[in-house]
Structure 1
Amino acid sequence: MEDSDRRTWLSELVAWWQLERSGLEHRMPFVHGSRLRRYGGKINQIERIIKLLKEKPSTRALAVLVDPFRDFTENGQNEEFASFCLVEFKRRDVSSSQRFIDALAFYRAQEFARWWPINVAELRLFQQEICAALSFLPGRITTIAGDARTHSRSPTQVAMPIIDRWLDQAPERLYLLGNALAQRSVREGRQREAVRGWFRTLADLEAATREYNADGLPIAIEGLKHLGAYLGVIDEEGKQDLANFVRVLLRLARINEGYEKGDRTRADFGRWGEDALDLVSELRDMTVSRFGPMA
């Protein structure tokens, strides 16, 4: 991935994790933005922090992301909640004209190769938002992890697939991609960016099939379904090659959904990974036949 693509990917991924509402919450119920800006369905904790630091004599304010009513089960089985548990913002007065906002965040577990950069970028966004409202300066960022993991060879849930995130952030890219696939041509600009995102999606899906992760994997589902539905609608001439593309897309979406809803044991992963890799490879071959290896 080129530097410009990497920066775009990072900024869009961080922005997705901070959405107040997401159409993917049924799969990822602990999107950080919804917990911070719509806690319990109604409390915007970031606005509360701004108000507290502005109007109260206190120099610190807390926000929490774990909701015991929503996240905990009686016996602890099948619990899924955010690793990002709590964040404290603290005002630090250096002088009458220099006031900083420091962030101290606690994580029950943190994977440093992939999660940590996203987490720090999120905290910086919070700092910038709070500081802009209070005319302060962004200060220090400190993270504390109860379970620090230095490296994971498999993708983690931080990287929600691009094609699924598009449903929240840029649904028009699905239609630009669909038109490009149907017409076997790519215009410069936004359509080329959409096709590049599709190649990146295929690479991410392929990576997800190669290494088991007990914490869960980022698997595309909704985006594949929407792209398949759109291609099916615009294929008025009933072209066999496009029909085959739709068939493989929807087959991949089905087995991904089945794996995600299952027990996700290592044995389940082995069966799913073998089938998914074959389908991803087939989609890549069909995509390259339409555009060439580089879009």
Structure 2
Amino acid sequence: MGTDTQLRIPNDVTEINQYAFSGCSGLTSVTIPDGVTSIGDNAFFGCSGLTTITIPDSVTSIGDFAFYGCSGLISVVIPDSVTSIGDHAFYRCSGLTSITIPDSVTSIGDSAFDGCRGLTSITIPDSVTSIGSSTFSFCSGLTSVIIPDSVTSIGSRAFSACSGLTSITIPDSVTSIGDSAFGSCSGLTSITIPDSVTSIGPNAFSGCSGLTSITIPDSVTSIGGSAFYNCSGLTSVIIPDGVTSIGSQTFYNCTGLTSVTIPDSVTSIGGLAFYNCTLTSITFEGTRAQWAAIEKENLWLYNNGTYTVHCTDGDSK
């Protein structure tokens, strides 16, 4: 019912099926009646002209790809009845400037808001326990994110290429930061990693060229390869005692890095780990013999300038 551009779904409808309005690019507004309980996968896929939609309190789930590519959509209010937002649900809704995620939501799918570059802030509710892969990647307009204490893991590429983010606080509940979780967040200047985190994934902060300082807590035992790749603003790094290996390209092209502290727990340093850095001082918290025993891959250090390795019993090379 309605015009060619405006749709009012009849009151006796209880479910919007998969692909129901997929590709209806001329559709500008949709009113969904109170009886509808679910919005199916791909239901409004590619409805690029859609600017407004009213989701009633009866809806409990928003399916995968439900509003994929609805680039004209400006704002969405998700009602308290919704418990899950599917994978790619609002993928590339580039015009979306605001969205309210209610406390009822326990699951936000992978890439749910990927490419929503108009979003400036997001509050993740306390009911969510994990942030999935690419959930907010390429949200380049995002400047503020609140992650609740309920979240225990941040998935791969969760906030990758969110170039507008300048700072983020990770709560004490988080134990792992996934691969490329904050990769290419070039505006990020500071980040606090809590003591609860035990692993930092590969490329986790790669391309965070604005990052000037980072504190890695003692709880971290694993730092993935290329974790701080091309973090050109970093000047010094202290690697915590629990870390046993520094992966390949971990600090590759950190051109501002002049000093690093390495614990005596480290037994191997991967290839190109400190490639194209400007290190003048390496502090090793062990003896010269322990330093010599560390397995160092070819070109583990390709440095711009001379450096000294300071060990507990004197300097080494």
Name the TM-score, length of structure 2 as normaliser.
0.22
Q: Looking at secondary structure, tell me which structure has more helix per residue.
A: 1
Higher relative contact order (CA 8 A, sep 6+): 1
Q: Could you say which structure has the higher strand fraction?
A: 2
Larger radius of gyration: 2
